[in-house]
Structure formats: C-alpha cells, structure tokens
Structure 1
Amino acid sequence: MVETVETASKDALRRQLLAARRCVADDVRGAEARLLSDRLEPLITGGITVCAYVPVGTEPGSPDLLDMLLRRSARVLLPIARTTAEDEPLPLRWGEYGPGTLVPGPWGLLEPPGPPLPETALAEAGLVLVPALAVDRRGVRLGRGRGFYDRSLGGRNPHAHLIAVVRDAEFVAELPTEPHDVPMTHALTPNRGLITLPSRE
C-alpha cells in the first residue's frame, strides 16, 4: 500500500520532497539509477522515438540511462527550456541526444547543441520520460513548479506513454491537482518498475 501525502500546498510538498532527496546517499542514488535503467530497457523497442531528460542534482536517473535509450531506440530527444523576456516559460523545444555532445543551458541544465527542433517534435515520441518530484496513483504529477511540461505535454502523441520517473517513496496515494495538469500514464520506480496508472493500490 502506498503512503498518503497529506494535503498541503504544492510549494510545501516540493520543499519536503527535495529535502528528502538531498538525504539520499550517493551510493543509494547510483544503485537506484541502475535499477531504473534495468527496468526501462525491456520496454524500449527498435524504431521508437523517446523523449527523455538529463537528471539534474538529485533527480533519479543518470546519463547511462540515456545511453541505454539510444542503443535501444531509433532516436532520443532531450528538452530545451527557454523563457520569454518576461521570464515566462515557453513550451519545450527538443534536440537529438548524442553521447558527449551536451552543452550547458539555463538553470544548469545540459542540452543538445545546435538549432533546436520545434515543440511539435514531441508528437513523434512513443514514450516520454517526465521528471517529477512525486506522482500519485491517479497519475497526478508534481513537478518543480515552472510549468514547462504543463505547457508542452498537450502536444504529445495521444497514444504515447507518459512516464513519471520517481523514487519508490515518491509514488504516493494522492497529490494536489489543478485543471491544467496532464495525467501520467505510468510511473517508473527503481524497485517496483513500471506501474500503470491509474493504480488501484
């Protein structure tokens, strides 16, 4: 049975979850990253385009996971995040991943070099890995709060798997939700693997 996250403001939940991630030892984080890659690998079949992301700081995952995706798929796209002059998030654009080619972008994010693909490139993906601080059994995702993915996921292939990548403790019973939230179709955790949402647990 998953634990319930008490109803609280999203900002309070973000602080709580980020603090918990900072307490995870490096060796535990590394072991979890390897498990995530192992759980995901059998799901990737040749010819598919995958949208993924480069983990930042304590986010689950690793660059090795990206290399596995590239070996197993036709193409891996990574997000390129930008804002307006007024610092409003724009829909994500995308770039093709190549090992050893990433360059620093805003906010410490690594991204592919060269001219970005348009935001419509997301619709080519059959599987989209989405960074998350938590996801609940209904598919509600809690992100970092800037809204880049909220502005982007509406342009997905409607048949694509939207997979929130979280630690086991970050798969929870219920999160606050808003009308603009795009529900995830799956959660991926190190020990439980792929969980189809909504979950009845």
Structure 2
Amino acid sequence: MAGRKRRPLDAAARFSSAVAEVALAWAPVRDAATVAVYVSVGSEPGTGLLIDALAAAGKRVLLPVVVAGLDLDWAVYAGRSGLAPAVRGLLEPTGPRLGRDAIAQADVVLVPGTAVSSTGARLGQGGGCYDRALPRITSGTPVAVVLYDDEVGLDVPSDPHDVRVGFALTSSGVVALKSPDIR
C-alpha cells in the first residue's frame, strides 16, 4: 500500500486508461449486460475512466453504497454528477438504492483490494464489505480484483470468512487465480 502512494501521477493516469481497455476487451465484461464495480479513491488504482467506458459501452453499472454493519447496498451509475462524498472517504451514487441483493444481478463483479495471492486470497481495506456482499452473487459469476501489476501473486493473510476471487484485473491484462473456491 505504501508503494501506491509513491506512484507518479502520470503512472496512475496511464493505469486508468489501460485498465479500462483491458476490462472492455475481457470476454466476461465485453459480454456483460450488468457490471458491479466501485469508485476508486485516493491511491487506489483508478476506476473513473473504466466506469465511464462501461456506461458508454451500454453496460448497466452498479456501484456500492456502504450501509450499516459495513455491508453494501447498490445503485445504478448515473454519471459523475450523481456521485457524492460518503463515509470512509468514498464517493457513492446518490440514486435510488436497489438493495443488498442487487449484486446478484451483475454478470461480472470488479472489486477493490490492496493485494491478491495466486490462490485468490484478496487483501482489502479491512472493513469486510465485500466479504459480506460477494456471497450474494450468482454462482459462476466472475469476480476480479482491480490492482497494479506488482500487487498480484503476493502472500496475503486470509481468514476463513474471506471470500476468494477468481481473477486480477491489471493494466497489463487479466490474471486467472488458482483456487478451488474462487468466485
């Protein structure tokens, strides 16, 4: 995570553009009608261009809203003017809430993280929001963590309640992760 804060701004901008291209070329995203993704903040790998590219490609984009108990509700992305500051320094959609189970409508889910192991153990920010939300997705739905290349394939701590992911999405491509219980 400290490495993120030291990345040059131009590298972060290049990442944002490249990851949008990689995501739209990936078959699960290309074929999806609905994509659940998140609005990056701070030193997270940028998703702003990706979200706009998904919407421009005609995808229904679901964005998370943090609710009580650090669980996630969902709302449809309605443009950057429809985002507002929220808890934990996040930006969230201001439109109607769809409910916690709305993530099950997604054909592919893109999640935040700070690192991922080669077996899909994802290190998040410590709130457990996605560990609560991901069990609600339909079985077989691809889940990818959006990371910088050097954050993939690392040893990360994992607890029994942690939900593993099946892919890492970086500016270089999509990496399939090996785990018997991935999503």
Decide: shared fold, TM above 0.5: yes
Does residue 172 (structure 1) correspond to residue 153 (structure 2)? The answer is: yes
State the partner residue of 1:64. 49
Task: Please name the residue that 1:194 is paired with.
Answer: 174
Q: Which residue of 133, 146, 151 maps to 1:152?
A: 133
Which residue of structure 2 lines up, in the alignment, with residue 53 of structure 1?
Answer: 38
- Cα distance between partner residues in 1 of 2:59 and 2:139: 20
- 1:64 deviates by 1.4
Q: C-alpha offsets along residues 44-70 of structure 1, whole Å, 9 cap, x if unaligned?
A: 335521000000101102311101111
Q: Percent identity?
A: 38
Say if 2:32 and 2:107, in contact at 8 Å, map to a contact too. Answer: no
Would the alpha carbon gap of residues 73 and 185 (structure 1) be closer, same or farther in structure 2, given more than 3 Å must change?
farther
Contact 2:76 2:95 in 1 (8 A): no
Moved >3 Å (runs of 4+): none
TM-score w.r.t. length of structure 2: 0.90
Residues 1-201 of structure 1 aligned to structure 2 (within 5 Å): 17=1, 19-43=2-26, 44-45=29-30, 48-83=33-68, 88-89=69-70, 91-99=71-79, 100-191=81-172, 193-198=173-178
Return the TM-score normalized by structure 1. 0.83
Q: Residue 175 of structure 2: SS of its match in structure 1?
A: strand
* Counterpart code for 2:177: L
Q: C-alpha distance in 1, partners of 2:32/2:125?
A: 31
Q: Name structure 2 gaps, 5 residues minimum.
A: none
1:115, distance to aligned residue in structure 2 (A)? 2.8
Q: Which runs of 5+ in 1 are unaligned?
A: 1-16
Paired residue total: 176
What's the secondary structure of 2:131's corresponding residue? Answer: coil
Q: Could you tell me whether the CA contact under 8 Å between 2:115 and 2:154 is conserved in 1?
A: no
